[in-house]
Amino acid sequence: MNNDLYTYSKQMQHYLEAQEKRILQLEQEVKRLTEEISVLKNKPPIHVDRIEYKFDQLKVESLDGTLNIGLNPSDLNNIDEFAVNNQPVSPASFPFPKREQIVKEMTIELMSQLDEMIQATESQVGITLDPTYHDFIKNDVERQLEQRIHMYFDHSLPTERAPHQFEHLKEKVFEKVKSDIQVALMNFITHSKGQTGGNQPNGV
């Protein structure tokens, strides 16, 4: 148990250090952007007669990103979860009927499968985490699920939003989020194994 507490303390220390570093980076970025805005304000205005937008250029081809389990310090620098071709995307909202209810139902179903996914990943990596780690994982995954499901719906293509395609879209979003969870579990449990350097079956 002492070893578990020590490991957890070290991970939390790394987490806080990473958060501190991230805050400093953001402060520097805000300062830089403020300076750029100030420079732009002092520039003479540019007259543009006409702007044409080709909406095909705005089409979302793919949605990349990973769920982050908070106790995994190596993931903290990748906290920007949603990007398309490495660029931030402003999605078009998809307000379909009973959206909140459907998202909650999908969240409940994913959470019901989480124990099995954790155990499968532990078996694949060759390490069994202490049950307290399972609780941390579940909490971190659960707090991100609804937002992630909403985001995937909002990033869906117009052709996928047709009523006759909706069940297929739901299945696609569900499987994508499930895949994200599996990647996050693999990253976290692999990192835990690397910290302990062993294949102990009874904890880290």
Per the model's pLDDT, the better-predicted residue between 186 and 9 turns out to be 186
Cα–Cα nearest to 114, from 142, 153, 133, 72: 142
Domain annotation covers residue 83 = no
Residue 117 lies in a domain: yes
pLDDT average, residue stretch 109-123: 95
Report if residue 25 sits inside a domain.
no
Please say if the pLDDT value at position 80 is more than 60.
no
**Average pLDDT value over all residues in the chain:** 74
Mean pLDDT across 86-106 = 76
pLDDT at 73: 35
Reported as a single tens digit per residue, the pLDDT across 11-68 is 778 778 888 888 888 888 888 888 888 877 776 665 544 433 332 332 333 334 445 6
Q: How many CA atoms lie within 13 A of 67 on its CB side?
A: 28
pLDDT at 66: 47
The CA–CA distances, whole Å, from 62 to 65, 70, 85, 112, 138 equal: 10, 25, 7, 28, 27
What pLDDT sits at residue 2? 62
Q: How far is CA 54 from the centre of its chain?
A: 30
Average pLDDT for 95-119:
92
| Mean pLDDT, residues 99-113 taken together | 94
Whether the per-residue pLDDT at 158 is higher than 90: the answer is no
Highest mean pLDDT among 98-112, 128-142, 156-170: 98-112
The domain in which residue 103 lies consists of 99-193
- Would you say residue 44 lies in a domain? no
Average pLDDT, integer, range 120-130: 91
Q: Which residue blocks in the chain are alpha helix, DSSP H?
A: 2-41, 99-112, 114-125, 131-154, 166-196
Q: What is the average per-residue pLDDT within 161-178?
A: 91
d(CA 93, CA 33): 28
Residue 76 predicted with pLDDT over 90: no
In whole angstroms, give the CA distance from residue 6 to residue 12.
10
Position 127 in a domain: yes
What's the pLDDT at 103? Answer: 93
- Tally of domains within the chain: 1
In a domain, 122, yes or no: yes
> Which has the closest alpha carbon to 68: 188, 155, 172?
188
Kindly state whether residue 72 falls inside one of the protein's structural domains. Answer: no
How confident is the model at residue 156, as a pLDDT?
86
